[in-house]
Amino acid sequence: MPREQGRDVEAMRESRPVLVSVNDVSMAYNGAYAVRSASFDLERGRFLTILGPSGSGKTTLLRLIAGFGRATSGEIFINGQPVSAVPPHKRSIGMVFQRLALFPHLTAAENVAFPLKMRRHDATTIAGKVTRFLELVKLGGLGGRRIHELSGGQQQRVAIARALVFEPDLLLLDEPLAALDRKLREDMQLEFRRIQRELGVTTINVTHDQREALVMSDEVIVMDAGKIQQKARPAETYRNPRNAFVANFIGVTGFVEGTATSVSGGLVRMSHGNVELAGIMAGDAAPPRIGQSLVGAIRAEQVRIAADRRQLGGLDTIVTGEIAEAIFEGERIVYEVRVAALGGVILRVFDHDPAEHSQFEPGAHVSLGWNASDVRLYGMD
């Protein structure tokens, strides 16, 4: 490629911030939709995580972007070019597969060299790049090992090096960390993030692990039942879930139901039997009608627990309940509290400092308190 032309392409890339554009993509198998009308843009250099439970369509969407299978309708653009008709090996995409898909008949270095060999680089170039990328993933010196001679974490590193060594436009991660134990998984999350930042490669990660999504990503897409539920920055997703599904799927959340009684400013008041509750409508939802059924979501960490309501001064909503379960998790205790006045709903509460006072036993009567400003309200349809 002539120098000028190469610079033009480079300039064009710089001028266009959006690398991947998914435009109204649907994918149906035998009439059942795995992905339904998905649309989003991803800017260059960003780390996007598609989060969702199994069967939500997140992997299908990722595979469509990779080029495995063709969307039933809609189009995917990469660098502004439609890619439906482009086979996977001609898309400049590196992918780390769920079970890594390392080649067992090749060594670690040969695995990393594979995409370069497929691109017909010469031996010297290949050797140089392989060494550089093995060092990048901290595997310098292990290149001669067979895949089965490497630990799980080392195999992850080979897979990421192999997906990046040919400097693709886009990196796809198909739940590669799912099979690791928790400690290793958390280490690798940070490691992936480090490498991604170092290279600045645009990345789409797929996972069902909300922590992974929040820790690693610039942006999070939450999917359920084939539809995109929300696309936002991690903190925004956590603080302002756009619907009850997102609120439930991310974080530890309790739900209280009620009927709207008044709307003043942003604050919506509602009642459940004799209990008065309040909250703020989530996202850009319109104010409710009076009498409309609402559900309020409250994060476990926003709820405080005490033996007596007088210890909950400064909180505007206080209810009483009975301890159903006390779960000791080390750095905290999680209480499950049954609130009879709210129809027997279970609310979860974190107690982060259990040493200060004696732990509540199941059956103990307690008071729970929170602020209305922490409650997000959703209309019930």
What's the min distance (Å) between Cβ of 144 and another protein?
18
- For 174, counting Cβ atoms within 10 Å of its Cβ (0-12 exposed, 13-18 middle, 19+ buried), the class is buried
Residue 70 touches another protein, criterion: CB under 8 A: no
In the list 93, 109, 216, 298, the residue contacting another protein (rule: CB under 8 A) is 93
Burial 52-80 (b: 16+ CB within 10 A, else e): beeebbbbbbbbbbbbeeebeebebbbbe
**Window 284-313: residues binding another protein (CB under 8 A):** none
Following DSSP, what letter does each residue of 285-313 receive, concatenated? PPPPPTT-EEEEEEEGGG-EEESSGGGGT
In the list 9, 24, 68, 80, the residue contacting another protein (rule: CB under 8 A) is 68
Q: Given the rule CB under 8 A, which of 90-98, 187-195, 223-231, 286-294 is the region that contacts another protein?
A: 90-98
In the list 94, 234, 279, 296, the residue contacting another protein (rule: CB under 8 A) is 94
Residue 162 touches another protein, criterion: CB under 8 A: yes
Residue 114 touches another protein, criterion: CB under 8 A: yes
In the list 5, 15, 30, 104, the residue contacting another protein (rule: CB under 8 A) is 104
Contact 297, 247 (CB under 8 A): yes
In the list 7, 16, 70, 99, the residue contacting another protein (rule: CB under 8 A) is 99
Q: Please, what is the end-to-end C-alpha distance for the chain in angstroms?
A: 58
Q: Which among 160, 221, 210, 166 is positioned nearest to 188, based on CA atoms?
A: 160
Q: Given the rule CB under 8 A, which of 38-46, 60-68, 177-185, 260-268 is the region that contacts another protein?
A: 60-68
**Window 311-340: residues binding another protein (CB under 8 A):** none
Amino acid 118 reads M
Residue 89 touches another protein, criterion: CB under 8 A: yes
Q: Which residues contact 80 (CB under 8 A, 6 or more apart)?
A: 16, 18, 21
3-state helix, strand, coil in the chain (%, to 5): 30, 35, 35
Contact residues: another protein, CB under 8 A:
66-68, 87-89, 91, 93-95, 97-99, 101-105, 114-115, 117-119, 148, 162-163, 166, 172
